[in-house]
Amino acid sequence: MSGGRVLRLGVLGSGRGSNLEAIARAIDEGRLPAKLVAVISDQPEARILELGRQHGARTEVVAPSTPRGRLDAKTEEQFVGILRQENVDLVVLAGFMRIVGPVFLAAYPRRIINVHPSLLPKHRGSNAAAQALAAGDRVTGCTVHYVDEGVDTGEIIAQREVPVQDGDTAESLQARIQKAEHELLPSVIASFATHE
């Protein structure tokens, strides 16, 4: 770890939280000078919340009024309020199935990043591995990008390629893409820590 300050991380997710585990592992192993301070989900049963608790983060459920899609301004304020209370420096979306809007973006300019399982701008939205197979791609991968008001449209920070193998299913391909995500995302977060 360098002598620089420790980046305070807020992670938002709706599901399994394997990227959160990868972040926590990188912190534990001294590869990432960061502290996991808040984990917030829109899904009360999401495993990511349990993982957040295990790793000592504050965990919160903020349940928007709509079941999916774009966050309303009031809900965005709730998310931002929690992140501000914990003095979060960088917000990481890891499997967060919501679209953030202007309130959130204004609170954390160029401080919200997302991981997506394709080589953007190809295959935005859900089921990206299946989209890559349907398109006949021989190479796909994952992307970490800044978040803007679109769906997987923000400026690209880093990408990693994953070859498609003969006989791949959407599930087998997604599993290998996720392995690549688990290396790429902590390394991108580490670059934010270094450049603070």
Could you list the residues that contact ligand GRF (CB under 6 A)? 13, 15-19, 94-95, 115-117, 178, 181
Residue type, position 163, single letter: P
Contact 120, 141 (CB under 8 A): no
Provide, rounded to whole angstroms, the least separation between the CB of residue 94 and ligand GRF: 5
Backbone angles phi, psi at 17, to 5 degrees: 80, 25
At 157, the amino acid letter reads: I
| Minimum distance of ligand GRF from residue 59's CB (angstroms) | 15
Nearer to ligand GRF, 50 or 196 (CB): 50
Catalytic, 123? Answer: no
CA distance 135 to 129: 10
Q: Find the shortest distance in angstroms from Cβ 129 to ligand GRF.
A: 9
Which is the catalytic residue, given 55, 116, 123, 145? 116
Looking at beta carbons, which residue is closest to ligand GRF? 95
Sheet bearing 139-146, strands edge to edge:
58-61, 34-41, 7-12, 90-93, 112-116, 139-146, 156-163
Nearer to ligand GRF, 33 or 95 (CB): 95
C-beta closer to ligand GRF: residue 16 or 35: 16
d(CA 33, CA 26): 9
126/165 with CB nearer ligand GRF: 126
Which positions are catalytic? 116
